[in-house]
Each structure stands twice: as structure tokens, then as C-alpha cells.
Amino acid sequence: MALEDASKEVDNAVIRGPYRGLSYENTFGGATSFMRRAYSKDLTGVDLAVTGVPFDQAVTNRPGARLGPRAIREASALQAFDPPYGWGFDPLSDFTIVDYGDVAFDYANVPAFPEVLTNHIKGILDAGAASLTLGGDHYISFPILRAYAEKYGPICLLQFDAHSDTWADDDMSRVDHGTMFYKAVKSGLIDPAHSVQVGIRTVNEDTLGVPTIDAREVHEKGPQAAVAKIKQVLGDRPVYVTFDIDALDPAFAPGTGTPVWGGLTSAQAAIMLRDLAGINMVGGDVVEVSPPFDTTGATAIAGAHVATELMCLYLWNKR
């Protein structure tokens, strides 16, 4: 980083032009966007639109994930100076990535929220971009998957999580962050046989046919073996990647609603996300970052790194 660049740049989130390139403004100053990308509602020519969903009214334990998108954006400023490590290309300079801002919704009208979010994501997909969503609790993946399934048909789901989130619930109107993938499978949005859950360490007898790589398997056989198994299941089919931050052990991500010990390390997650390069990823999200339960900011930092890896994973095939 050139010091003279740092002294001249500020508020790239609102004045950046052109959209491509690294950012050298002071980490601790300026208007915050994801990776200092420009805020824009114009998706013309955009490859990837990062959007926030500050919603946490589906939680079963601790709230606060509504503050996740803002915290992840702030934490991502630490990474905006250099190309993402370990990928061998610079997506920030080679592709047009914008921060599309947050979905607008009436917080007091929860029943209306799912359709609002589905339409928000459909707007991104209809413009020819893909979405990278910053949550928010994990329920948000269900309305998002509706938009993706409308475009791609039943989609493969790659889910990093401590929980399967396939607990039975046939009331499609219920807003619950533990049952949405049950609903997604039952609604025909997900192809369960070609989906994978990684990091699971809670009991659910019925995963609806979704193959599982639990946290112990990752610890014992290693992340590379997990990646090989994931790629075999996914093949070249379109896949949506969802990363619940509680996939990580609470030692690495304490700021989340339903923490469970024995989880993935940040190093294991980094290896898996990078070695997954080449899968046919069409969109993704990182969810359940709850800043009030982590005064260190480590969970938001982890969320920002996961989002960055998902950005690279999506753009890898488009180099």
C-alpha cells in the first residue's frame, strides 16, 4: 500500500469510480461498505451484488444478527487493500462488484418479509448479477432460495452449519431459522441428494436425504478429504453456498445466536472454501453474526473473511 494513496482516498463507498480496483483509504475512516465497494442500485454490468439482510426475528435463542450486515461491512475494511490471499487472482480489480445496500422491509410486518426478500434477490438475478448476502439470521436463506430455484430449478445446497435446520415444519408461513431447509426440500427448491451439510454437531434424525459431513469427520479426516467428498456429491450442478457462522467453534466465533462447541476452526473453513474452487457456485450467504455477543469483533471479522472467500469462490470460474 502506498501511503500517498491512503492520504488521498476517502469514502470510496460513495465516490468510487471506476468500480474496479483495490482501496487504500484508512481502515478506521470513511463510509463503510463491503470491501470498500461502491454503493449502487444500478446493476448494469455488475458481476456480483453484495446485499445486507438485517433480519433476526426468526431466532430460537439469542438475537442480534440484524446488526450482522453492518458489522461485517466494517470488518471487511481490513481486507480491502490487497487481493484476497491464496486465490491467485484479484476479483476486486478483475470484476465489477458493488454493495447493493440492504433490503428494505417493514420490521413490524414479519409475515410480509419473505416475499419482500425473494423479490429483492430476484431483482439482482434478473439484472444478470449474482447475490452475496450478509445476514441476518439463517431463515433468510429460504426466501433467497425461492429466487434462485425460480431461475435454476431445484438447486444444490452446500451448507456450513452446526445445525441441520431440517427439523420438520409443514407450516410454510412460520418464520423459523431451524426449519427453513425442511421447507426448502419439501417445496422442491433444493435437490437433497446432491446437497451437503458440513460441520453438523447437533442431533436431527431426519436430514431428508442430505449427505452430512459432521464436525468430527472434518477434525479426524481433514478439510481436504471433506472437500473431495463435497465435490463428488455436487458435481458440476448449480450450487448455493450458505455459511452459518456457528459452523465455526465458539472459540473462533462467539458472537452468534446458537453456539455449539466442537466446531470447525477458522483454518479448516479457509482451507475448505479455497479448495472448493471450481464448483458451480451461483450465489451464497453468510449468516448469524450477532455482534452484541462478541465485544472483540472476532465474529464479524470471521464473517467478513467468509464473505470474501465466497466472493472469490463465485468469481473463480469467471476469470
Q: Which residues are annotated as a binding site for Mn(2+)?
A: 138, 161, 163, 165, 244, 246
- Whole-angstrom CA distances from 35 to 25, 77, 110, 123, 194 are 11, 5, 30, 22, 32
**Alpha-carbon gap, residue 59 to 63, rounded angstroms:** 6
**Alpha-carbon gap, residue 263 to 248, rounded angstroms:** 5
Report residue 112: phi and psi, to 5°: -85, -15
User: Is residue 314 a contact partner of residue 132, using CB atoms and an 8 Å limit?
Assistant: yes
CA angle, corner 259, sides to 255 and 263, nearest 5? Answer: 110
The cell for 47 is 458481476
- Whole-angstrom CA distances from 20 to 38, 75, 110 are 9, 20, 37
Residue with cell 480489480: 93
Residue with cell 427439523: 167
For the chain, the residue count is 319
Give the three-state DSSP class for 212: strand
**Residues annotated in a binding site:** 138, 161, 163, 165, 244, 246
- Whole-angstrom CA distances from 87 to 163, 228, 277 are 29, 18, 9
Residue (of 115, 122, 118, 129) closest to 40 by Cα position: 129
**Alpha-carbon gap, residue 234 to 240, rounded angstroms:** 11
Beginning with the edge strand found earlier in the chain, give each strand of the sheet holding 212-214 in spatial order. 97-102, 48-53, 130-135, 281-287, 239-244, 156-160, 196-200, 212-214
